[in-house]
A = this chain, B = another copy of it.
């Protein structure tokens, strides 16, 4: 875990290892849920059961889990086109999410959104976003709303290495910094933006190095180490919560699957992907927990089985749910509907 310069002053990274055992196991469980949900979704998509297209976060589960479990339920997150993990980690029920991927009326978005617009406002998950970089200003707004209501909620904005080059991220970063808003800009640098290697699009090595330009702490963390991510987010969320202002956290991770399911991935060598298997965030946390005596094989298998059953139930629920009726397309546009479309 590296730390970058903060406007001259050094951001001190307090390294504490006090993540309690329950939380450590929760992190593992959430990561397993994400992995299982997405592997299932991938298979279902390839089998032609899911319409639309799908972006998987397999390999990046430590980011979603580590970050979201460091937040409160009433904290906000904004997400990206790759949002299943964020949504699950914020404790959204898997059934409604799966039903959404199935385009069913029981889906989180009643079948109107699909994978790319997965959202669960009841847990503060303000939505995946089909516009890269679209979530940054939404998070700033969430933080403004919290301040206005005088709550101590924070807003965490997930974004990618590719999104870092959008102007929205710049404007949001500057604004959050000027107003010392409780925003955590959390960049999942998974080394690619679609077909483009981060290095070919980012003018610097580390996204976190841009933090100094906003007078914001910039932190780099191993994005495949759930405990490390968790510690960093917990610390900076507390900092933001107590009025310390925003932070930019860059999690170095890797996208193990294609940009979307079906991506021929001509832009990278299979070797490169294979080499990353050694960094698998789930295996890694499991090993750590085992080493600490918190997990044995039996328990891991039990966990896997529980998660598999949850996701299988979600698939059953989704499959058995009805499709929306065509006229439902006209609902949900306005709170106060307009009788005649003008």
Contact = CB atoms under 8 A, between A and B. Distances in A.
Interface in A1-28: 7
A177 interface: yes
Contacts of A258: none
Interface string A128-170: 0000000000000000000000000000000000000111111
A118 B210 CA distance: 35
Contact of A174 (B202, B209, B212, B215): B202
A201 interface: yes
A204 B165 CA distance: 19
A270 interface: no
Q: Which of A165, A203, A209 has the most CB of B within 10 A?
A: A203
B178 A200 contact: yes
Interface residues of A, number: 26
Contacts of A306: none
Contact of A212 (B169, B173, B212, B216): B212
A102 interface: no
Contacts of A167: 166-171
A192 to B, nearest CB: 15
Contact of A171 (B165, B175, B178, B204): B165
Contact of A214 (B7, B174, B204, B214): B204
A206 to B, nearest CB: 10
Nearest to A201: B178
Interface of A: 7, 165-171, 173-175, 177-178, 200-204, 209-216
28 contacts: A7-B204, A165-B170, A165-B175, A166-B167, A166-B171, A167-B168, A167-B169, A167-B170, A170-B170, A170-B171, A173-B203, A174-B202, A174-B203, A177-B203, A177-B204, A178-B200, A178-B203, A203-B214, A203-B215, A204-B212, A204-B213, A204-B214, A204-B215, A209-B213, A210-B213, A211-B213, A212-B212, A212-B213
